[in-house]
């Protein structure tokens, strides 16, 4: 009967540490953040921190891993090869997830972010969404396919980062329509002006 109380305390402690690290990352690079600074901000002792994490890098890595696992699970639920499901539907789900994790996502994709996280994120996008979608229209060379995958995954991540930095004025659905139009029609999509 005591176990749920302990689990709740552990979850609460981890949540506080993650929130504090996210706040610190808004103004500092990870290598400039100390356990002492983090635990003082969280109003916890360092011993409590070390029960759960080796150092601040370990905490950040676990946060990144959890976000990537959630992202991967979301992608695995979506079937981009279903011709009845347009890319915008998949993209809207992805953008909704980014909005739900906006503080952390903006940091991880920004200048204080982790390049390894960014590369892992692009690999997930490439392996799930792009392989499925591109299989529907594939006809070119392998080199062209790889270049297209790199362009779309980097562009999609850049679009999310821009959206987060500019206050997320569009809804995830509006952004998904824009992203789909850019992916499918390139710069000519901007001539249409409105989201549809």
Regarding whether 125 and 28 lie in a shared domain, the answer is no
Q: What is the pLDDT of residue 83?
A: 59
Regarding whether 115 and 91 lie in a shared domain, the answer is yes
Regarding whether 27 and 113 lie in a shared domain, the answer is no
Average pLDDT along the chain, 196 residues, taken 10 residues at a time: 68 95 92 96 96 96 94 76 70 90 90 84 78 59 74 87 93 92 74 53
Number of domains forming the structure of the chain: 2
State the burial class of residue 141 (Cβ atoms within 10 Å of its Cβ: 0-12, 13-18, 19+).
exposed
**CB count in 10 Å sphere of residue 96:** 16
Q: What is the pLDDT of residue 154?
A: 87
Regarding whether 176 and 136 lie in a shared domain, the answer is yes
Regarding whether 102 and 71 lie in a shared domain, the answer is yes
Q: What is the pLDDT of residue 167?
A: 93
Q: What is the pTM of this model?
A: 0.78
Regarding whether 46 and 115 lie in a shared domain, the answer is no
Q: What is the pLDDT of residue 133?
A: 60
Parent domain of 166: 60-192
Q: What is the pLDDT of residue 195?
A: 46
Q: What is the pLDDT of residue 196?
A: 47
Regarding whether 161 and 134 lie in a shared domain, the answer is yes
Q: Which CATH number goes with the domain that contains 98?
A: 1.10.357.10
Regarding whether 147 and 181 lie in a shared domain, the answer is yes
Rounded CA-CA distance 30/112 in Å is: 7
């Amino acid at each position: 009967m005591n176990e749920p109380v302990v689990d709740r305390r552990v979850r609460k402690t981890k949540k506080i540490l993650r929130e504090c690290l996210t706040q610190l990352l808004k103004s500092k690079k990870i290598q400039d953040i100390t356990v002492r600074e983090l635990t003082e901000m969280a109003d916890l002792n360092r011993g409590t921190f070390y029960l759960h994490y080796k150092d601040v890098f370990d905490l950040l890595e676990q946060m990144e891993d959890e976000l990537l696992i959630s992202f991967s699970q979301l992608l695995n639920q979506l079937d981009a090869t279903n011709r009845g499901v347009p890319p915008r539907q998949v993209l809207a789900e992805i953008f909704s997830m980014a909005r739900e994790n906006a503080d952390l996502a903006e940091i991880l994709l920004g200048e204080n972010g982790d390049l390894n996280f960014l590369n892992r994120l692009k690999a997930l996008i490439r392996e799930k969404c792009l392989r499925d979608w591109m299989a529907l229209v594939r006809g070119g060379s392998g080199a062209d396919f790889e270049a297209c995958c790199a362009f779309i995954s980097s562009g999609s991540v850049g679009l999310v980062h821009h959206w987060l930095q500019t206050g997320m004025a569009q809804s995830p659905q509006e952004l998904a329509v824009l992203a789909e139009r850019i992916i499918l029609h390139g710069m000519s999509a901007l001539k249409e002006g409105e989201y549809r």
